[in-house]
Amino acid sequence: MKKIILTGDRPTGNLHLGHYVGSLKKRVELQNEGDYDEMYVFIADTQALTDNFNNPKKVRDNVIEIALDYLSVGLNPKKVTIFIQSMISELCELTMYYMNLVTLSRLERNPTVKAEIKQKSFGNSIPMGFLSYPISQTADITAFDATVVPVGEDQLPMLEQARDIVRSFNNIYGETLVEPKALIPDSVVCRRLPGTDGKAKMSKSLGNCIYLKDDSKTVRKKVMGMFTDPNHIRVEDPGDTKNNTVFIYLEALCTDEHFKKYLPQYKNLDELKAHYEKGGLGDVKIKNFLYEVIEDTLTPIRERRKYYEENIDLVYDILKEGTKKAKRHASETLKRVKEAMLIDYFE
Ligand code: TRP
């Protein structure tokens, strides 16, 4: 069986460090390892519209922002097909057929969707499109015969739904669709990076994100204002490193090389932690170090972004090319699906 990697993001805001450690970094690694037959990364504008249908400008503007984020982290259009979801009409057709295979109560049980509904205070007025987006997400995945789907932890219920649909489809219509597997980060801290305020998750609506496109000054300000250990008042006080956002970020981002470069008095993060826990290490020092580590991460990303911003036509060409290629694959799958469902009348 072919190895086909696929993943996507909703264009509702710029991508941030949480996305980077949770998924983008892994995608670039997978791309560079080259151990796959096809790799797709796409901008899920159709899905973004399920809860932003009344704000089309926001979605449209963010499509190009996400494309810039993708290219600036180092996704290479020669190795990865980058496309826009709504341009592939085959996905809507597949969604329509998959809808027959899912019950309303199954959709209502999806824990991620449930949490989102609560957060958005839809009350009893849940848009159909929103409730059923896991079905359309199954279309995204199966249209390209994806076998590996690198995502954040919150997407596991979507993959479960996708596998359910695939099994049910294959059961009824014969072996047609490929079962996908989720790929989540090995590192627990990378799975859910907290916001700079220490809250559960980096999230645009909470205003606690460090964006990949933030400039140095903005990053410095955000890092200096970060949540640490509230009981670590004087430098001499022993500090907690476990619920300390600065240490969590360091865990996710820093390497021994960073210590050599910026804090040579420590060999690695374990030594820094031990000092902090014993007492005698101030927050400003660890924040300064974290700032350098983030800057090392973001500098090449900013440079690539600048190049693509200055060559925006190139970005549109990449999206156009990618969309064309993606459409070819999706239309082959749709053909197979219709044949299996006996609705291929004129073939
Ligand atoms: N639901 C994903 C998110 O919120 C985006 C997405 C849409 C996706 N379709 C997908 C991810 C297919 C992986 C595979 O970010």
Find out whether 248 and 208 touch, Cβ atoms under 8 Å: no
Expressed in angstroms and rounded, the spacing between residue 236 Cα and the centre of ligand 1 is: 46
Q: Residue 205's pLDDT is what?
A: 80
Least confident of 182-191, 199-208, 262-271, 333-342: 199-208
Residue 3 has pLDDT above 80, yes or no: yes
140 Cβ below 6 A of ligand 1: yes
Q: What distance in Å separates the CA atoms of residue 287 and residue 246, rounded to the nearest whole number?
A: 7
Mean pLDDT for the stretch of residues 317-325: 98
CATH number of 4-192+312-340: 3.40.50.620
- If pLDDT is split at 50, 70 and 90, which confidence band does 328 have? very high
**Average pLDDT of the chain, as a whole number:** 96
Same CATH topology for 4-192+312-340 and 216-305: the answer is: no
141 Cβ below 6 A of ligand 1: yes
- The pTM (predicted TM-score) of the whole model is 0.95
Expressed in angstroms and rounded, the spacing between residue 134 Cα and the centre of ligand 1 is: 9
Q: Give the CA-trace dihedral at 122, 126, 130, 134, to 10 degrees.
A: 110
Whose CA is closest to atom 2 on ligand 1? Answer: 9
Expressed in angstroms and rounded, the spacing between residue 257 Cα and the centre of ligand 1 is: 34
Q: Residue 189's pLDDT is what?
A: 87
4 Cβ below 6 A of ligand 1: no
Expressed in angstroms and rounded, the spacing between residue 10 Cα and the centre of ligand 1 is: 7
Expressed in angstroms and rounded, the spacing between residue 301 Cα and the centre of ligand 1 is: 23
- Name which of 203, 243, 208, 239 is nearest 226 in CA terms: 208
CATH fold group of domain 216-305:
Tyrosyl-Transfer RNA Synthetase (1.10.240)
Q: Residue 127's pLDDT is what?
A: 95
Q: Where are the domains of the chain?
A: 4-192+312-340, 216-305
Q: What distance in Å separates the CA atoms of residue 258 and residue 261, rounded to the nearest whole number?
A: 5
End-to-end CA distance of the chain: 27
Q: What distance in Å separates the CA atoms of residue 189 and residue 192, rounded to the nearest whole number?
A: 6
Q: Residue 203's pLDDT is what?
A: 84
- If pLDDT is split at 50, 70 and 90, which confidence band does 186 have? confident
27 Cβ below 6 A of ligand 1: no
